[in-house]
Structure 1
Amino acid sequence: MARQARNTQKSSLFSIKQQSDIAIFKDKKDRGVFIEILQQAKKKFGFDVYGYCLLDDDAFWIVINTKTRSVASIMQSISISYSLYRSDVENLFLRRYKSEAIYDLETLNNIMQTMMSDPRYETCEYCFYDIDTNQPFEFIAPIHQDIEIQKKYPKKTDTETMIRFIEDYVGVHYNTLSVLDDLEIRNDIIKHVYACLNITQTQLSQYFKISNSAISKILNHGI
């Protein structure tokens, strides 16, 4: 039977738990790689990470603000990247992740308190949520009173609007479109535009006249 589609996203803030029938993490190296993948996904999609917990071998828990991005796209990117790393096993994420939409700051704080309440929290570097502590994970966003929870999502940005955005951005920062011949600058612009606009990789591919796979490599690995 085909999986039933998820409900339309009505919040940008989520507590997400992924369970597996087999070990997701074998050791510290695996957990470290997952954190790196989470950081890469954050750069690619422009979402905020408020906390993560990798204490269990067969599960992970993250709390994120997707902003204008689809939670499904973010989770797909994370799952595919980690599955490619764990190529030694099949069907690592056979179970579907469970996402709980969060609509207010009180609920968010309650969820983070639950994460903290695990007795293993104090002694484990793989369960973390507060940027103000002495933990060395600077990509974690602090929880402020003015967190903006997105509840309405814009339609996909049309190509004409994307082109105007690119031209305006390049004009402000580089003065001339000729800089697009510089691959490093071009790649930085691609990542910036993808993080800011609700666009597809195909739109970027058509504008910059490079393949979809090249766009994907730039967004995922910066090359």
Structure 2
Amino acid sequence: MPRVARRQMDASVFLIVQKSHLKLFRSNQDRSQFLSYLKEAKLKYQFACYGFSLCDDDRFGLIIHVKHQTISKIMQSLMIAYAKYYTSDEPLYKERYKSYPIYNEIDMANAFNQLHQTDSPYASLCYYNGTREDSIQLIDYYTKQPFDLKPVNKTPLPDKVVALCNEHHCTSEEIKKNKTLRNQCILEIYRETGCSLKELSILFEISTSMVSKIIKNEANQL
């Protein structure tokens, strides 16, 4: 029976919990590898991660602020990458992850309490209490400042391209020829339109892997 698509919720911050019938983390090496995939996913999909916990052997939890892509696309990328690394003869995830929308400060506090029950290098509490400082690209500190919990209306791709051409007083072909400008525009288009890497690859006539690399490099420089 095909899976039913998830209902769209009017939130952009979620507590994600994924369980496995297998020993999801067989060692701390597995946990470290998972965190490396989380860093890669953050750069690729440009979301914020406010918290995580990999302390249990059979599950993980994340607090994610979706900004530019859907939660399903982010989680699919992360979970497939880890499953390929894990190389199990059995499916690693028999059930879909649970996503709990976060609408207010109480929801956020409850989510943090759920993830921060253990002060471990593999739970984000270690970043918040200062025992680890290498959190660049991994943890985005939640400072209780107001943020929009509803999805931002995306600019249509054609409209954004026209706007960039007008802003830089050039044509789309001229943007393609100027690599520095092209790379900046790719990241800006990706963030503001929510388009796919494939759409960008077609638009700029380059490979999807090159688009992904450009987005990561440009985001690193900000």
Report the TM range for the smaller structure's normalisation: 0.7 to 0.9
Q: Which range is displaced more, 66-75 or 191-200?
A: 191-200
Matches within 5 A, 1:1-223: 1-116=1-116, 118=117, 121-122=118-119, 124-129=120-125, 130-131=127-128, 133-136=130-133, 137-138=135-136, 139-155=138-154, 157-167=155-165, 171=168, 180-181=176-177, 186-187=182-183, 189-212=185-208, 214-216=210-212
Note the residue ranges of structure 2 that are not aligned, 5 or more in a row. Answer: none
Partner SS for 1:78: helix
- CA pair 158-114 structure 1, distance change in 2 beyond 3 A: closer
CA pair 164-23 structure 1, distance change in 2 beyond 3 A: farther
- Partner deviation per Cα, 1:154-210 (whole Å, 9 max, x = no partner): 25x4332231354467x49xxx97675576875565344323431122321221112
Cα separation, partners in 2 of 1:210 and 1:105, compared to 1, 3 Å:
same
How far has the Cα of 1:220 moved from its partner?
7.2
Identity of aligned residues (%): 29
TM-score normalised to the size of structure 2? 0.80
Structure 1 residues 44, 192: CA separation in 2 closer, same or farther (over 3 Å shift)?
A: farther
Aligned to 1:127, what secondary structure does the other structure show?
Answer: coil
Instruction: State the distance in 2 between where 1:218 and 1:87 align.
Output: 29
Which stretch of structure 1 is more off in the superposition, 31-40 or 133-142?
133-142
Distance (whole Å) between structure 2 residues aligned to residue 69 and residue 62 of structure 1: 16
Distance 1:31 1:196, change over 3 A: farther
The CA RMSD over aligned residues, in Å, is 3.0
Secondary structure of 1:112 counterpart: helix
2:71 maps to amino acid: V
Tell me if the contact between 1:67 and 1:149 (Cα under 8 Å) persists in the aligned partners: no
Q: Which runs of 5+ in 1 are unaligned?
A: none
Moved more, 178-187 or 105-114: 178-187
Q: Distance in 1 between matches of 2:177 and 2:160?
A: 19
Aligned residues: 213
C-alpha distance after superposition, 1:30-67 (max 9, x if no partner): 11111111111111222111110001122110011112
1:93 deviates by 2.0
8 A contact 1:25–1:31 mirrored in 2: yes
